[in-house]
Amino acid sequence: MKTVRLSTIALIFSLCFYAISASAENLTGASLNWEPYIGETMPREGYVAEVVKEAFSREGYNLEIQYMPWARVVALSKEGRFDVYFPEYYAEELKEDFLISDPFPGGPLVFFQKKGANITYNSMEDLRSYKIGVVRGYVNTPEFDAAEYLTKDPVTEDMQNILKLLAGRIDLMVVDKYVGLHLLRTQVPDRVNEIEIVEPPLGVNDLYVCFPKNTKDAEKRLKAFNNVSRPLIKVSKN
């Protein structure tokens, strides 16, 4: 994440050389509190918000973000209540209702388990006997999401899964590595050592901005965003 942060700072400084037009078009966006990537109480709302807002401002748009639970973000965006929502993981089925931007860096998606549980896996089949906490509305990975034979227990947000895992109510939870570690360190710092990461990770997921097809000028706005993100969002994932 250090490389991401340093490269992001360079990106933001380069974008700030461009003045925001006085006649900027207002856009409404929807997201969730997903620190350390994005959050309404974070400085400048976090890396993701900063990148997306600056990219839009370079093309003459002023983006205001509303924060809410993720399932509501996706549902309301699908209805055309917002011009964009983010940060989303890629899934082919999203293309039915949304135009999807070029990617920008995310992080590794992993399983958390209670220390000492000794859960290992080589394939999704190895996880049949476990109760797995997920967040309602999240895209994870194609293989995991398609595995209907797994026992998946949905909640509204990641922190709920952490508390359920600590209480022994689930065996595993799916979470972005950095989001999960951030929540442990800030919300239950005295219990950080009770949780460990299961190897290997499910994958490393890029992030995307989604534009509802049923909103005005969705294709135009997508092209405007990509015009900036292609040359300027060059952040190493290593």
Instruction: Look up the CATH number of the domain holding residue 134.
Output: 3.40.190.10
Whether residue 118 sits in one domain with residue 35: no
Task: Map tokens 């917002």 to a residue.
Answer: 82
Q: CB of 34 within 8 A of CB of 88? A: no
- Alpha-carbon distance 178 to 72, whole Å? 23
Whether residue 114 sits in one domain with residue 26: no
Look up residue 63 and give its two tokens. 């983006």
- Alpha-carbon distance 45 to 6, whole Å? 17
pLDDT beneath 50: ranges in the chain = 2-22, 235-238
Whether residue 193 sits in one domain with residue 150: yes
Q: CB of 87 within 8 A of CB of 207? A: yes
Whether residue 209 sits in one domain with residue 97: yes
Whether residue 134 sits in one domain with residue 60: no
Query: Does some domain include residue 145?
Result: yes
Whether residue 39 sits in one domain with residue 115: no
pLDDT tens by residue, 121-158: 999 999 999 999 999 999 999 999 999 999 999 999 99
- Could you tell me the pTM of the whole model? 0.84
Domain holding 157, by residue range, is 107-204
pLDDT score recorded for residue 232: 52
Whether residue 61 sits in one domain with residue 94: yes
pLDDT score recorded for residue 24: 80
| Buried b / exposed e along 196-229 (16+ C-beta atoms within 10 A) | eebeebbeebebbbbbbeebeebeebbebbbebb
- Alpha-carbon distance 201 to 199, whole Å? 5
**What is the C-alpha end-to-end distance of the chain, expressed in Å?**
8
Our count of domains for the chain comes to: 2
Residue 74, SS3 per DSSP:
helix
Alpha helices in the chain (DSSP H): 2-15, 46-58, 70-78, 142-146, 158-166, 177-187, 218-232
Whether residue 16 sits in one domain with residue 91: yes
pLDDT tens by residue, 6-17: 444 444 444 444
